């Protein structure tokens, strides 16, 4: 199966700017104008100060695995040939309470543990959809690819 057969993410007024940045292969989060708190997922009101103004700011695209699951059952027929696949919840390096989810690529799920270092990679599914996925961070920073794509 190609990724083109996967269900598409649905955007809303709060998440649309994030998906636009992902399409450009940029990882961003909201930052509250009033108190400076970064937040993800996108929402209209800051959970710290209740401020309603925010900016979209870039983040490093690195984090650590908070938890994960290896799916061995077919939940969607369009993904039957991808089973088993691993979904990770990644705690971004920029903020303790910001979690992003995605599938693990180029990694062995048996090596995962809480705190396992990962980096975002961008996969262009088609002209309108790009997915954020996660791969293990190289132990040697010089080994990191110049362009995080799969």
**pLDDT value at position 1?**
47
The answer to whether 102 touches 132, Cβ cutoff 8 Å, is: yes
Domains assigned to the chain:
12-59 (no CATH), 61-150 (2.40.50)
Mean pLDDT of 21-37: 97
Model pLDDT for residues 52-102, shown as the tens digit of each residue: 999 999 999 999 999 999 999 998 888 888 899 999 999 999 987 899 999
**String of b and e for 8-33 (b: at least 16 CB within 10 Å)?**
eeeeeeebebbbebbeebebbbbbbe
Which of 14-28, 31-45, 74-88 comes out lowest in average pLDDT? 74-88
For 132, the enclosing helix (H) or strand (E) is: strand 130-136
């Amino acid at each position: 199966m190609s990724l083109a057969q996967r269900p598409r993410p649905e955007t809303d007024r709060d998440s649309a700017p994030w998906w636009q940045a992902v399409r450009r292969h940029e990882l961003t989060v909201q930052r509250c104008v009033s108190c400076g708190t970064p937040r993800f997922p996108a929402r209209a009101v800051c959970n710290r100060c209740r401020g309603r103004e925010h900016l979209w700011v870039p983040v490093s695209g690195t984090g650590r695995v908070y938890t994960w699951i290896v799916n061995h059952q077919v939940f969607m027929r369009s993904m039957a040939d991808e089973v088993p696949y691993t979904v990770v919840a990644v705690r971004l390096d920029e903020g303790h309470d910001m979690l992003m989810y995605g599938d693990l690529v180029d990694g062995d799920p048996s090596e995962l543990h809480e705190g396992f270092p990962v980096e975002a990679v961008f996969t262009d599914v088609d002209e309108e959809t790009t997915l954020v996925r996660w791969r293990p961070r190289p132990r040697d920073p010089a080994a990191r690819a110049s362009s995080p794509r799969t």
